[in-house]
Structure 1
């Protein structure tokens, strides 16, 4: 399937179903990361709906969007400086060990080079940093419908994600599953979403819409020769808002 553009993603999260998805996933994310005071956070993929709750607490919250999906200005508050850029998977525009947290949403499933991307996450994270990935479940219903962004790109099983992480020197810390409600737009389903979410993890955990996996760096692993001193000289795009 073709990737959603950032404008498709933005439109999804502006609708009733998308707003509900944001609230459900945000509650899981904040349970895993309740305190981000003074931390530098990067959201990769299309994480801006979930970065908003971190803006006031964190030292900095940056949005990095993918070349496959495109980019739009963020944050959208009038008069605020743009904190978004477009980046390739193999060269993130951050210094080595400069970030405390990386949140990945609508990112891994669109990566053409997932190994290179996760290697870059390892490079830019501080030694005590944490990576949190929200990835469509290959067995879930949400990966099978294309009116949501979770139905685009390549969904993953839990074991596939763990393998990618371990091969790139990450250790798994915590895991969650979310989006147990079926991907229907009916008012009844949306109204009962919180009830379904509360018992879904116990009754049909394998059908969750997404995996949430938190990982930390394996700092004892050696850095490949030549990687530590590599200078990142790519040109990045900082987007200004369109005139109204």
Structure 2
């Protein structure tokens, strides 16, 4: 979706209610303090305000095809237009990466997650929010959750494991139908609680995943061995020349032929 459409949706009454409900559920996945360096990828600015006072730095990266808007409006700009598969961050420099309106819009989800793994620190965490495949919100195009590729839990788990992430915690939101009528919007809070109580399919699923770090295998030093030469095979008998036992000059030695001169 275009950045203008995303901004206009969150400016409507339905968008404001959806943001508040998603924030309440996302709060269970966010760190209470000392979040470190936080990056929002996609259109995550409606939810990054939760972390501005408990993080060392908060940045908003928006994909080039989507467009970019200034954020925050009351402080120094911390938003940038980026290629989501080539983030302008060094290896292992991000502590928390939040993807909203991003993964389901990407043409190469695996490449996107591999890039997320590159920039995340060793103990870094990834929070992904995507439309739920069986939910009502993925079937209506008047909300941003009706665009892109929705996911089920099993599909999301398989994709994360293939890119060396481990799913840890889950949250769900938006059980209410995406009504646009003003009268019905006022009762969405009641419908949200009723849908959760009835265990209906949610409109949005969120997962917190940790980066898998391969353990280094130490190289054992080779022991020096004392080598000694050994004989290989059976020893062969050597030919010995036996000298005759000569008793006197007149008598020939026993067992030896003699020849006298004529």
TM-score, length of structure 1 as denominator length? 0.84
Cα distance in structure 2, aligned partners of 1:176 and 1:188 = 28
Moved more, 68-77 or 101-110: 68-77
Please list, as runs of the form range in 1=range in 2, the aligned pairs for 1:54-73 lying within 5 A after superposition: 54-73=51-70
Check 1:197–1:172 CA distance in 2 against 1; reply closer, same or farther (3 A cut).
same
Q: Is the 8 A contact 2:26 2:171 kept in 1?
A: no
Residue 178 of structure 1 corresponds to which residue in structure 2? 173
Cα distance in structure 1, aligned partners of 2:171 and 2:27 = 12
Question: Structure with the greater relative contact order (CA < 8 A, sep ≥ 6): 1 or 2?
Answer: 1
Q: Is the 8 A contact 1:182 1:189 kept in 2?
A: no
Please list, as runs of the form range in 1=range in 2, the aligned pairs for 1:183-222 lying within 5 A after superposition: 183-205=178-200, 207-220=201-214
Matched, 1:20 2:17: yes
Matched, 1:158 2:153: yes
Cα distance in structure 2, aligned partners of 1:159 and 1:174 = 14
Cα distance in structure 2, aligned partners of 1:5 and 1:55 = 25
TM-score, length of structure 2 as denominator length? 0.78
Which structure: greater helix fraction?
1
Cα distance in structure 1, aligned partners of 2:187 and 2:36 = 35
Cα distance in structure 2, aligned partners of 1:86 and 1:6 = 11
Moved more, 36-45 or 194-203: 194-203
Aligned to 2:179, what secondary structure does the other structure show?
coil
Residue by residue, what CA displacement relative to the aligned partner does 1:170-194 show, whole Å, maximum 9, x if unpaired?
A: 0010112110000111234322222
Q: Which runs of 4+ in 1 moved over 6 A?
A: none
Cα distance in structure 2, aligned partners of 1:58 and 1:193 = 32
Q: Is the 8 A contact 2:63 2:81 kept in 1?
A: yes
Q: Is the 8 A contact 1:68 1:110 kept in 2?
A: no
Give the deviation of 1:201 after TM superposition: 2.7
Cα distance in structure 2, aligned partners of 1:115 and 1:14 = 32
Q: CA RMSD in A?
A: 1.5
Please list, as runs of the form range in 1=range in 2, the aligned pairs for 1:68-217 lying within 5 A after superposition: 68-77=65-74, 80-205=75-200, 207-217=201-211
Cα distance in structure 1, aligned partners of 2:157 and 2:35 = 29
Could you tell me which runs of 5 or more consecutive residues in structure 2 were left unpaired when the two chains were aligned: 217-262
Residue 28 of structure 2 corresponds to which residue in structure 1? 31
